[in-house]
């Protein structure tokens, strides 16, 4: 079974500062990977997906970007954080039709 490691667990960042969140997948080669965002008490919104190294598709524009530098790694970043970026960021991996989520990163922008 695959494992999903997200880092950091939580971040408190200032408006206008840069951000980088990471996700590493173990136990599955060439996985489809996803970034989701969840506002406090809200639903899950898919942000990006990637089916292979170097290829990332954006689902919704939130002034964020994503990259897949390695087969097992997915990075979410921005150069300038907004207050609206606060929330819970989840990395997910697809195994057949099933999607499994990591433990998430709690981001607070102040």
Partner 1 sequence: QQQVRQSSQSLTVWEGETAILNCSYENSAFDYFPWYQQFPGEGPALLIAIRSVSDKKEDGRFTIFFNKREKNLSLHIKDSQPGDSATYFCAASASSGSWQLIFGSGTQLTVMP
- Taking the complex as a whole, the smallest distance from the CB of residue 62 to partner 1 amounts, in Å, to 16
Tokens 């490691």 appear where?
5
Least separation in angstroms between CB 46 and partner 1: 6
Residue 36 Cβ vs partner 1, minimum distance, rounded to whole Å: 8
Nearer to partner 1, 83 or 98 (CB): 98
Nearest approach, Cβ of residue 16 and partner 1 (Å)? 27
Helix (H), strand (E) at residue 52:
strand 44-52
Residues in contact with 97: Cβ distance below 8 Å, sequence separation at least 6, in sequence order: none
Structure tokens at 55: 């290829």
Cis peptide before 71 (omega within 30 of 0): no
CB 67 within 8 A of CB 56: yes
The contact set with partner 1 (CB under 8 A) reads: 32, 34, 42-46, 49, 57, 59, 90, 94, 97-104, 106
Judged by CB, which is closer to partner 1: 14, or 97? 97
**Rounded to whole angstroms, how far apart are CA atoms 25 and 92?**
9
């Amino acid at each position: 079974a695959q494992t999903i490691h997200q880092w950091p667990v939580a971040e408190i960042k200032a408006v206008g500062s840069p951000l980088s969140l990471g996700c590493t997948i173990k136990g599955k080669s060439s996985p489809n990977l996803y970034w989701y965002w969840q506002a406090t008490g809200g639903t899950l919104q898919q942000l990006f997906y990637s089916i292979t190294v170097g290829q990332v598709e954006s689902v919704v524009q939130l002034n964020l970007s994503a990259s897949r530098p390695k087969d097992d790694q997915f990075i979410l970043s921005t150069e300038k954080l907004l207050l609206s970026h606060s929330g819970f960021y989840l990395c997910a991996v697809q195994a057949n039709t099933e999607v499994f989520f990591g433990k998430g990163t709690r981001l607070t922008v102040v």
